[in-house]
Amino acid sequence: MRSDVIRVYKTVHTWTGIVAGLALFIAFYAGAITMFKDTLDDWVTPPLPAFEHAQTFPLEQASAVIEQTLAAHPAARRQFTLRLEAAGAASLSWRPRGQSQRVTATLNAGGKLETHARVTSNAARFIDILHMTAGIPGGFSVGMGVMGVVSLLYGLALVSGVIVLLPSLVKDLFALRVGKNLKRMWLDAHNVIGILSLPFHVVMALSVVAFGLNDYIFAVQDRVIYNGALDATMTAQNPYFAKAPVVPGGSVSLLPPLQILAAVKQRAPGFEPQELSYRGAGAPGATVFVRGDDPRYLARSGGFALLDPVTGRFLNAQFLPGAADGNAWSAATSAFFALHFGSYGGAPVQWGYFFLGLAGAFLFYSGNLLWIESRRKLERRADSARGEAVANGDVASGSAPPRQRRAAHFMAALTVGVTLGCIAGISATFAAGKWLNGRVADMSAWHAWIYYTVFLASIAWAFLRGGARGSVELLALATGTTLLVPLASVIGWLVPSTRLWFEPSTVGVDICAAIGAGCFAWMWRATARRVAAGRRDSVWAAGLAVDK
């Protein structure tokens, strides 16, 4: 391929990566963490005191628990969840509207209803929203729209990057040259991660374009194809807005959950239900979502079916994997969703997506570093040219220190502030879910305030101190905030009077956070050494002069 063509694609790859990279870093780092959002929810939710009645009950008692719950707590009719636990047990819970707590219901030994309320945190949900919007202000729809545009640039960067690497692909694919040439080492790592995870990144880019820009795509379709009727059509077909047919004078009594599960099992024998989510129970138009999984299929969030809980009639089975009358288009879109969210294959796929997400974050971070290092190389060439001019007597001699242009310093500070601010902010707001549980009224507001305070303060600090010093100090912050996660559990285990707690089933969260803090501490030490003893013509050298 001609060298001038390669240069064009290299320029495209560089600038699309620079423009999109920092938003994508936030999306990938937060997305990696939310692969285990159910476990994260369990970590930030205090367990019931040991002396209180168990939360679970035999599934055969589910009808009695539901009946007594709806009679005693009418607010639960809006939406409650019956979760299927191990060994034929079940648990029932609901979240009162406008309250940051979850109420569980069960029967005591005398067959009477008992309820227990626990303050909950939406830390995992908040991090998931960061993953989808990169924290861009303006609301969820604005953030998703911006990320859709960012993903278009992301796709362009993928294509141009592959074209740039093609001439040396075989020779350089597995080359990782570790040594004094840091730019070469970073470039090798960037290339090998980018190529080996390319299919994953293609899926991410295409799916986020579809998710982020679907409102705009639908608006064009509505005007050009459907003559303004698309919104009504989509609402009618959306299972989340569906209601069971209302029969005047008809019964509103709910079928036993075992009958509903039997109907789903008959329709999709390989489907394993995990929970039943009731909406409008005991009122006309009530529905029940039966969510679960079938490991043989790529399915949207595991797959679900929508039924009438009074008659047991299916209202929507197009997203039920393995159903005999399944819709081919729904199966294809479900697979597309599953490939994005990793909702298939169990723990191995979850861990695979976790590491691919972290590797993706590194890809965007390293891309910015490569651009910054390339500026140093250009300035060094300029300094050499000035040195030759001095030797030839063209300009006056001088001993000015090496300088870097403001663009390099700006990008260094922005990269350090955004990436390390994101890491520290996520760690701090997640740890706050346990440290502040029961001590503040509105944890949702606290999660947002904590994250954005740490994030924006980190960016400001990086610009105030410069990329070099700021990177050292913000790595210390990232280490400390990440250590708050296992520290909360250790204190809860050793000193339960602090109202913190330790949950053995979520110890994996504490272990991963401790490992992460160790990695950040190692980076902190290595970065401090480089700032103190690195090349004087680098933006990562403390005290480097800035050119205009």
Indicate if 107 and 89 belong to the same structural domain. Answer: yes
257 pLDDT exceeds 80? yes
- With H, G, I as helix, E, B as strand and everything else as coil, classify residue 402: coil
Q: How far is Cα 195 from Cα 469, in angstroms, rounded to an integer?
A: 33
Indicate if 416 and 487 belong to the same structural domain. Answer: yes
- For residue 138, being part of any structural domain is answered with yes
Q: How far is Cα 285 from Cα 247, in angstroms, rounded to an integer?
A: 9
Indicate if 101 and 144 belong to the same structural domain. Answer: no
- For residue 207, being part of any structural domain is answered with yes
Rg for the chain (alpha carbons), in Å? Answer: 28
Indicate if 233 and 179 belong to the same structural domain. Answer: yes
Indicate if 85 and 56 belong to the same structural domain. Answer: yes
- For residue 306, being part of any structural domain is answered with yes
Section 320-341 average pLDDT = 71
Indicate if 431 and 480 belong to the same structural domain. Answer: yes
- Burial pattern 277-316, b for ≥16 Cβ within 10 A else e, equals bbbbbbeeebbbbbbbbbeebbbbebbbbbbbbbeeebbb
pLDDT at site 241: 59
CB of 201 within 8 A of CB of 193? no
Give backbone dihedrals phi and psi of 90, rounded to 5 degrees, phi first: -145, 160
399 pLDDT exceeds 50? no
pLDDT one-digit tens code per residue, 473-486: 999 999 999 999 99
pLDDT at site 414: 93
Q: Which domain holds residue 58?
A: 46-120
- For residue 373, being part of any structural domain is answered with no
Q: How far is Cα 529 from Cα 468, in angstroms, rounded to an integer?
A: 11
**Three-state helix/strand/coil letters over 266-309:** HHCCCCEEEEEEEECCCCCCCEEEEEEECCCCCCHHHCEEEECC
Within 10 Å of residue 333's Cβ, how many Cβ atoms? 15
Indicate if 504 and 429 belong to the same structural domain. Answer: yes
- For residue 372, being part of any structural domain is answered with no
- For residue 294, being part of any structural domain is answered with yes
CB of 260 within 8 A of CB of 290? yes
CB of 472 within 8 A of CB of 529? no
- For residue 387, being part of any structural domain is answered with no
Domain boundary among 341, 375, 409: 341
Indicate if 156 and 276 belong to the same structural domain. Answer: no
pLDDT one-digit tens code per residue, 343-386: 777 888 899 999 999 999 988 888 888 778 777 666 665 555 55
Indicate if 37 and 139 belong to the same structural domain. Answer: yes
Q: In whole angstroms, what separates CA 329 from the centre of its chain?
A: 27
> Of 92, 104, 91, 89, which is closest to residue 58 (Cα–Cα)?
89
Indicate if 12 and 150 belong to the same structural domain. Answer: yes
pLDDT at site 484: 97
> Of 35, 83, 132, which is closest to residue 345 (Cα–Cα)?
35
Long-range contacts of 91-94 (CB under 8 A, 24+ apart): 91/55, 91/56, 91/57, 92/62, 92/65, 92/66
Paired tokens of 74 = 């009418």
Q: Can you name the residues that pair with 113 across neighbouring β-strands?
A: 107
The total domain count for the chain is 4
Indicate if 65 and 213 belong to the same structural domain. Answer: no
User: For the chain, what percentages of helix, strand and coil (3-state, to nearest 5) are there?
Assistant: 65, 10, 25
Paired tokens of 37 = 């959002």
Indicate if 40 and 64 belong to the same structural domain. Answer: no
Cα distances (Å, whole numbers) of residue 311 to 52, 287, 288, 334, 449: 36, 10, 11, 27, 46
Q: What's the mean per-residue pLDDT of the chain?
A: 82
447 pLDDT exceeds 90? yes
Domain boundary among 120, 149, 173: 120
Instruction: State the helix-helix crossing angle for 37-44 and 123-133, rounded to 10 degrees.
Output: 140
- For residue 396, being part of any structural domain is answered with no
